[in-house]
Amino acid sequence: MEEPIVRNKTAIQGILSTDPQYILDKVFEIKLITRRDYINLRSIEKGTAEDHVTNLVDNLIFKGRQAEFVNVLQCDDVLETFPQLRDLDWEHTGSTVSSSTDISQGDPSSSQSLSSDADANEEPVFHEQQEYYTLRFNPRGTCLVINNEHFFGGGLKDRSGTQQDEESLRCVFGMLGFQVEVHSDLTAGRIRSVLEDLGKRSFITADVLVVCVLSHGDKECVFGTDGLKVALGDMQRPFTSERAPTLAGKPKVFFIQACQGSNLQRGFVPCPPRPQEQGPSRGSLEEDAGPLPAELVAEDADFLMGMSTVQDCKSFRNTSTGSIFIQELCRQLLVSAKRPDDLLSTLTRVNREVNKGDYLNSKQTPQPMYTLTKKLVLTEMTIVEH
């Protein structure tokens, strides 16, 4: 039988939107939501009031707290604040709207039962919860891929082979339980607007955000197809806790395939590479480089920026098989999904394997930069569409 919250969802959201902070405080007071949920939901000034009420209702539905939420909506003080709730269809709830209904002052056994259920909703402090990010949603989140292949500005060449990177990322992150979205050939302005739009979404029912950018680049920036730069900090900024409160405490992972300068890395302990370390045998190597100067990267908690190369140096891409970094990253993510390993262990192996290669008589060293506060483990998952 359909739950009354689901049946009346649109009407409830409209009514509660007249005072969203009140209902948020109420459900937090009786512990229907956790402190982290409350912090994520309380920035009412971000977006419309109805957006935030919708996020709250979706959160309670997902957690299976509909029956308790019905009791909240039938409290005397809640009905006094939102008298329109009396007119809704509450049939089959097992309770009726009554002036004597009050969770905080009513039937002691009812209040005790609700408190007990709510306590179970608080996230217990286990060792694993302190060490690992919690992954409980299906799908796990969004993986956004920005793939710039064709350039018309700044004297930048087209990036042959980048379609292989796009396909590998689509396949691997799909297998890891992400909904993959791809945007191709974006100018600098469009890169910013796509990321800004993504940051405005609700991430209440998401565990992780992944953003992959495949383009030309220089120090601390990537290039749009118009040859204009986008600073790495500008790409991160829409997803900070202040700008995207429903991502607070959740990992935001960026993978950047782009040069970070014009220097070539030298190998200081030369040795003859084994045949499999000679690099790709088909196509040719190119550099994802560009001519523009640097900007600083903004830092914040729970970010990981996986760079294809260290600052000031070039990053290589095979015109037939894809970039050295992205292809190795995808291989190692598949290995880690079965072990399982945390993401930083995965990236350490990526560093090691890429370092083995010889690319135009030069070396390449990827570089993870992070403010993660826990370990992130990504295993295989079959996406269930809701």
CB 219 within 8 A of CB 311: yes
CA dihedral 250→255→260→262, nearest 10 degrees, is: 170
Q: How many residues does the chain have?
A: 386
Check 75, 212, 221, 259 and give the catalytic one.
259
183 is catalytic: no
Instruction: Annotate 28-44 with DSSP letters as a single string.
Output: HHTTSS-HHHHHHH--T
CB 168 within 8 A of CB 322: yes
CA distance 133 to 342: 10
259 is catalytic: yes
CA distance 240 to 245: 7
Q: Which residues fall within 8 angstroms of residue 260, CB to CB, at 6 or more apart?
A: 217, 218, 219, 220, 307, 309, 310, 311, 312, 313, 315
CA distance 131 to 357: 34
Grouping H, G, I as helix, E, B as strand and the rest as coil, residue 114 is: helix
Check 52, 75, 216, 330 and give the catalytic one.
216
CB 279 within 8 A of CB 358: yes
Structure tokens given for 251: 């990992």
Q: Where are the beta strands (DSSP E) in 95-239?
A: 141-147, 178-184, 208-214, 217-218, 221-223, 229-231
CB 97 within 8 A of CB 79: yes
Q: Where are the beta strands (DSSP E) in 140-251?
A: 141-147, 178-184, 208-214, 217-218, 221-223, 229-231
Which residues carry out catalysis?
A: 216, 259
